[in-house]
Amino acid sequence: MASGSAKAVYTAIVANSVITVAKFTAFGFTGSGAMLSEGIHSTADVMNQLLLALGIHKAKKNPDEDHPYGYGRDAFVWAMISAVGIFFLGCGVTLYHGVSGLMHPHSVTGVSIAIGVLIFSFVVESYTLWIAVVAVRSSAKDANMTFQAYMKDGSDPMAVAVLLEDAAAVIGVLIALAAIGLMWITGNPIFDSIGSIIIGLLLGCVAVFLVVKNRSALIGRTINPAARDKVLNVLASDPVVEGVHDVKATVMSTDTFRFKAEVDFDGAEVARRWLADQDLERILAEVSGSSNDLHRFLVGYGEHIIEALGDEIDRIEGKIRATVPQAKHVDLEAD
């Protein structure tokens, strides 16, 4: 698991825990619907980020008999659960409270307290957002992808989830400030409820995006084209490879993938490479005696070539892993 995404998750947990307490305290003094929505928002963020942290821990488990390729995709499972939590707890509860406020408006007091807490939240949330942006940029650079492309198709859902949650939190704070400000200026509590509804819709958009992204990873998303091309270039440049077919490359975890392909090997080149290490004079002497000697040699030669092909496959797979460390599982089949 990328250390940058882990740092982003743990930083967000600490920051949002502090902010949650501050927002609910402000709600207790003010009775603001937008303030309650922000408190619910931060509570959902903390719970969801705890799920992401659990996913990071689970994904580190070593392979075993039941899961020979490891538990890397467990991160996607917990990220999916987190996204569902954002939708139902963050979006659902916030929308419900906002609509209730529209139907039954109530006055809000202690506006200065709410504004002070929101400004504090904005500063802290901006810091956690910056940490998440740095983590995503680093992951995108490692994957040879643009920032925007990694947000959409990158293999690490953790940093992306934290970034989107923190971005929604920063925007949500601004919405809450605007709603409370308009309510204070106009004296109309409807703006407070409208702020809650907008925040709820914002969380819903974030949740849907994360659900779609993690669903794609769970059902076996292909790797990014840059990594695929690196592996194919290794194969194309190898002297024993004539062609590559039926390529399947899927994400296995946030930082590893599986590459499988059928390869046409150059049998003559494999034979030449094997013969280069043999004593040809000795072989000629062995097969010059009789047809039985020739038969025995050819049978043995077939065995040697099969072993040589296996050695070449192992060599190429090792070369791929050295060139593209994310290619943890490489399966080349002779076509």
Domain ranges of the chain: 3-218, 225-334
Residue keyed to tokens 């929505």: 37
Between 143 and 227, the higher pLDDT residue:
227
Task: Report the pLDDT value the prediction gives residue 320, as an integer from 0 to 100.
Answer: 92
Across 196-221, average pLDDT = 85
Query: Whole-model pTM?
Result: 0.73
Task: Please tell me the predicted confidence (pLDDT) of residue 232.
Answer: 92
Superfamily designation of domain 3-218: Cation efflux protein transmembrane domain (1.20.1510.10)
Of 75-79, 104-108, 167-171, the poorest mean pLDDT is in 104-108
User: What CATH architecture does domain 225-334 belong to?
Assistant: 2-Layer Sandwich (3.30)
Q: 332: Cβ–Cβ under 8 A, 6 or more apart, which residues?
A: 260, 261, 263, 313, 316, 317
| Letter string b/e over residues 243-281, b meaning 16 or more CB atoms within 10 A of that residue's CB | ebeeeebbbbbbbbbbbebebebbeeebeebbeeeeeee
Residue 233 has pLDDT above 90, yes or no: yes
pLDDT band for position 1 (cuts 50, 70, 90): very low
pLDDT in tens, 247-268: 998 888 777 888 999 999 988 8
pLDDT digits (tens, 9 = 90+) for 28-39: 887 776 677 778
202 vs 36, more confident = 202
